Amino acid sequence: MRVLIVGTLSGELGKAASIVLERGARVDHVETDAQAIVRVCEQGDHKLIICSPETNIASLVASLRRERIAISVLACGPEDPVLAAKAIESGAEDYIPLPPDPDIIAAFIQNASDDTSPLCAVDPAMRNIVAKAERIASSDASVLITGESGTGKEVMARHIHETSQRANGPFVALNCAALPETLVESELFGHERGAFSGATARRIGRFEAANGGTLLLDEISEMDIRLQAKLLRAIQEREIDRLGGNTPVPVNVRLIATSNRDLPMEVAAGRFREDLYFRLNVVSLLLPPLRNRPQDIPFLATHFARHYSLINGLPQRSISNEAMQNLEHCRWRGNVRELENAVHRAVVMATGSEIGIEAFDLPLATIPDSSAPTETAERSPWVGHKMEEVERALILDTLSHTEGNRTHAASLLGISIRTLRNKLRDYTDRGVTVPPPAHGLATPQ
């Protein structure tokens, strides 16, 4: 991923930049918020902006909004509650005290990045899919990857890119479900100066940023049907029109799309264009849920335990036999993503020489799979509750576990800081008690 540092690199902000580099990200640097907007528009693929409190954060965030650019902004400065509150009020998603904590910055990089864990699979059900993906990787055929949420569709897309002839080119992703229609169009195709109110510079979109490489359209089924027509033309003509532009721009990209929906049913319901479906579905890969690839559970759990021990600066510990058996009998409705978050929490919570069963908190996952015949299946305490109630309980429990640390909680939950902050604000508005921020920083709820 690419990170933009805004401010003077001398001193502690320079250390933050070094940490970003050590974590494998590419770093660009500018001195001012005005230069930052120009660089972001020129480059087209930044995922995170880290700036000093001396930066005009309010102006930077406002300019990003006017240009219809969706990038997280993180402020780094002295451990000062007043500065922290001011930065967040100005639009920064969070504030990291300096000298910077490498683990906190790593959590933000992971949260903002499209880079995910390497493809790990040993179960025959998944290895067959991997083999098919590797056979078609060398072609330029469009690929449609489907499967339940959390099965690893983005990981598979990146694996296809990295084993293709485009591996040396860029891998650029866009989550179609995370942005409103107006932002998705600008993110995809870019815009010319003056294309709309606030467009003060030409902006390169994801198609152009991915030129010579691969463009991943994550959750393509969430794209507005009117925008699907423009996407279809870009695929057919291999050229795009920037918003406000008069001259088509040729692009050379390989398209991979993902969806957790049944696209033929979406086509039948009129929510997805049939011609676009056929264009994307040249090669299709259906990823099996984790419950249908049981041999991957201990393999992935061991991998995640090593990974999160490393990034949290903790000793390498194995998962106990009792805990591993527990994991193998979970139904994992959230698939690999749920398993990853569960192991991450356990790595942080474990206190002994190994990661024992007491380090795991699996009240929902430990219920036997409802598809398995049983006469004595344990009834979940959440049966009869609405999904939003279960989600709220999980979020608040995780926040209590992290002692109010929003960054850590968002990382454990697998959501963005902005998403967490919006949910907490909604809970507060409803009169729900929310754990206060950690470290005494004056962070808004």
Instruction: Give yes or no on whether 2-112 and 124-286 have one common fold.
Output: yes
Structure-token pair, residue 45: 């693929």
Residue ranges of domains in the chain: 2-112, 124-286, 291-374, 381-445
Question: Which 8-state DSSP code applies to residue 301?
Answer: H
Rounded Cα–Cα distance for residues 87 and 151 (Å): 37
Residues 141 and 133: their CA atoms lie apart, in Å, by 11
**Options 1.10.3720.10, 3.10.450.50, 3.50.50.60, 3.40.50.2300; CATH of 2-112:** 3.40.50.2300
CATH code for the part of the protein at 291-374 = 1.10.8.60
Identify which of 15, 37, 18, 35 has the alpha carbon closest to the alpha carbon of residue 27.
Answer: 18
Distance CA 409, CA 415 (A): 9
The third-level CATH classification (topology) of the domain covering 124-286 is Rossmann fold (3.40.50)
> Please, which pLDDT band fits residue 70 given cuts at 50, 70 and 90?
confident
Exposed (0-12), middle (13-18) or buried (19+): which is 32, by Cβ within 10 Å? middle
Question: What digits encode the pLDDT tens for the residues 24-47?
Answer: 778 889 999 999 988 988 887 788
Q: Which of 402, 413, 420 is nearest to 338 (CA)?
A: 413
Number of CB atoms found within 10 A of residue 109's CB = 22
**Nearest one of 234, 241, 239 to 279, comparing CA atoms:** 234
pLDDT tens-digit readout, 139-166: 999 999 999 988 999 999 999 999 999 9
CATH topology of domain 381-445: Arc Repressor Mutant, subunit A (1.10.10)
pTM, 2 dp: 0.66
Which H or E run includes 351? none
* Alpha carbon distance 185, 243 (integer Å): 8
Identify the band that residue 215 occupies on the pLDDT scale cut at 50, 70 and 90: very high
Long-range contacts of 118-122 (CB under 8 A, 24+ apart): 118/155, 118/159, 119/152, 119/155, 119/156, 119/158, 119/159, 120/296, 120/299, 120/300, 120/303, 121/293, 121/296, 121/299, 122/295, 122/296, 122/299
**pLDDT digits over 390-442, tens only?**
888 888 888 877 778 787 777 778 777 778 888 888 888 777 888 877 544 43
Rg (CA), the chain: 22
